Amino acid sequence: MELEALQEVHSEIRAQGAQIVVLTPEIERYTRAMHHKLNLTFDMLSDLHLKVAEQFGLVYTLPDYLRDLYKSFGSTLDRFNDEPEYRLPMPARYIIDSGGIIRAADVNADYTVRPEPAKTVRRLKELRESGNDSPPKRPLDRTCRLP
């Protein structure tokens, strides 16, 4: 559902001079199939074994009882994600400015709550209008004294 909703705003994201990528822990053939099925016009990137999600601090391990439940559904993460430890990323959406600094961060421990794509577009627009899509200037950490 989230991918479809992001697709709906993709042209608005592009109109703000921005781009979007979706990182997924699934193995590539599932990613390719999903990308094709949904006719997505943005890239889905394979973050196999959650290497990048880990650097963003998003990875958690499913508790044993939940792992057993998912297994009973046939939703096995070892199969789809090559993830025998049953780790997942918390759903999250970031806006990174052209200087590499995070300007918006939405992270949810509850995976049934996702940030609204429309909110992401609004935030991109604000950044653009403020002419401030570059890193904030670091304040001087030394006091300059006149001689």
Partner 1 sequence: MPSLQERLDEFKRNFESGAPPFKAPPEIIATMHRATAELEASGAAERALKVGDRAPEFTLFNQDHVAVSSADLLRQGPLVVSFFRGHW
29-48: contacts with partner 1 (CB under 8 A): 30-32, 34-36, 40, 43-47
Q: Enter the DSSP assignment of 66.
A: H
- Identify residues 71-130 at the interface with partner 1 (CB under 8 A): 75-77, 80-81, 88-105, 107-114, 116-118, 120, 124, 127-128
Question: Please, what is the minimum distance in Å from the beta carbon of residue 97 to partner 1?
Answer: 5
| Separation CA 54–CA 130 (nearest Å) | 31
Return the number of the residue (119 or 145) whose C-beta is nearest partner 1: 119
Q: How many CA atoms lie within 13 A of 127 on its CB side?
A: 23
User: Binding marks (x or -) toward partner 1, 4..33, rule CB under 8 A?
Assistant: -xx-x----x--xxxxxxxxxxx-x-xxx-
If the CB atoms of residues 51 and 145 are measured against partner 1, the closer one turns out to be 51
Judge residue 126's burial from the number of C-beta atoms within 10 Å of its C-beta, 0-12 exposed, 13-18 middle, 19 or more buried. middle
Which of 7, 12, 49, 62 contacts partner 1 by CB under 8 A?
Answer: 62
Closest distance to partner 1 from the beta carbon of 84 (Å): 15
DSSP element (H, E) containing 46: strand 43-46
CA pair distance 143, 147, nearest whole angstrom: 12
Instruction: Say what the alpha-carbon torsion angle 121, 93, 28, 38 is, to the nearest 10 degrees.
Output: -40
CA distance 64 to 42: 35
Nearest approach in angstroms of CB 115 to partner 1 is 8
List 39, 65, 142, 145, residue binding partner 1 (CB under 8 A): 65
